[in-house]
Structure 1
Amino acid sequence: MKKTFEVSDRLFELYHRVHRLVNESMTEEGVSLARSKFLFFLSKLGPCRSTDIACALNFAPRTVTEAIDGLERDRLVMRKPDPEDRRAKIVSITETGRVVLEAAEHPRKQLIEEIFSALDDEQLDQLYDIVSKLVEKTDEIRRRKEEAEGAEVAVAR
């Protein structure tokens, strides 16, 4: 059991170190990793409501609104009235946002390549398989938990 926790701790340590390095390199290019998630989402899926962004990225609506406020202030996104709901706004990435996102993606990719160059192709394949198994297991646990919560709600009614 001790080995399991040691490996888990090392994975979390790796994640945080990579996250910090990637965030620093992207920020130097004008957009943090967190802000780039919003821009990337908008660049791939196109204009949408902030509630759609919150749901897709699993963020609180207020967090999304605050992030969009900042991105709009920096002219990386823009809001327009939703033609179907006068209370809502449609958010879209601007050309400036696309340029900044593209500029920040280069150092991110370069850094990831450099980090993973520590592994040969066989090790990279093995790591991919191992991480995939762990992702599948977490998805299985999440599904079981959601099913159990759904059953509890049904019983409570």
Structure 2
Amino acid sequence: MKQVHTSSDSPSDPAGLRYDPRVREVMTAFTQGGDTLALEAAAATRAAHHAVERLRSHGSEGRGLSSGALDVLIRLSATPDGMSIGELARAGDVTSRNITGLVDTLERDSLARRAPDPQDRRAVRVHITDAGRAWLDSFRHPTQHAMSAVFHGFTPDELAQLRHLCLRLVDNQRRIEQYLAPGGQ
């Protein structure tokens, strides 16, 4: 993938850190001149998420799968005994109903299959098929190439720090949800 630089590259502040002047202007108006740093960080996080998802979706949808179905397929590829719908939902932090639809799609495309759970006759487990493994094999290299391009110029330490900071956001959000839940503390 060729390296592309446009005039829309973000400028840097005096400390050498990138920012979006349009977001800063809007957030300054919103806060009536107050501190905008957390709001700018939230906007940058959202923009980064969308950038990665657009690239990821472009690659998977061009091959007939949504990014959600791709996530399920990747999880199934790492579990030789398959996973239940509930396990997949918890792993992906989505509803069982959502997972059921994604598994329906994967099953329709012969990339996954449901099978009775040998431990619980009332339950089913979802397994990746050989066709699902082949699909992932064909998708692996283009995905690695695309992620290398989108994270071009990042050092391993920066990538680890980015991962760390993003997961801190997720942890904070989960704490807030627990606090706001009925009976939460």
User: Shared fold by TM > 0.5?
Assistant: yes
Counterpart for residue 60 of structure 2: 26
Higher relative contact order (CA 8 A, sep 6+): 1
Deviations 1:51-100 (A, max 9, x none): 22112222211111111111111100111122232222121000000111
SS of structure 2 residue aligned to 1:45: coil
Aligned alpha-carbon RMSD (Å): 2.6
Cα distance change, pair 84–16 in 1 and its aligned pair in 2 (3 A): same
Helix, strand or coil: the match of 2:39?
A: helix
- What SS class does the counterpart of residue 79 from structure 1 fall into? strand
Say which SS state the counterpart of residue 46 (structure 2) adopts.
Answer: helix
The residue number in structure 1 matching 2:42 is 8
Other-structure match for 1:79: 114
Percent identity among equivalent residues?
A: 28
Determine which structure has the larger helix proportion and give its number. Answer: 1
Which 5+ residue runs of structure 2 have no aligned equivalent?
Answer: 1-34
Q: What is the rounded CA distance, in whole Å, between the counterparts of 1:153 and 1:136 in structure 2? A: 20
> In structure 2, what is the Cα distance between the partners aligned to 1:150 and 1:62?
21
Deviations 1:106-128 (A, max 9, x none): 222111101221x253xx63464
Does residue 58 in structure 1 map to residue 93 in structure 2?
A: yes
Query: How far, CA to CA, are the matches of 1:52 and 1:130 in structure 2?
Result: 27
Deviates more, 1:26-35 or 1:47-56: 26-35
Compute the displacement of 1:34 (Å): 1.5
Structure 1, unaligned runs of 5 or more: none
SS of equivalent residue, structure 1 residue 48 = coil
Amino acid at match of 2:38: T
User: Normalized against structure 1, the TM-score is what?
Assistant: 0.79
Distance in 2 (CA, whole Å) between partners of 1:55 and 1:67 is: 14
Kept in 2, the 8 Å contact 1:77–1:93? The answer is: yes
Pick closer, same or farther for the CA change 1:150–1:2 going to 2, 3 Å. closer
Aligned equivalents of 1:79 and 1:137: distance in 2?
Answer: 35
Moved over 6 A (4+): none
Are residue 91 (structure 1) and residue 122 (structure 2) matched? no
Q: Provide the aligned length of Structure 1 versus Structure 2.
A: 150
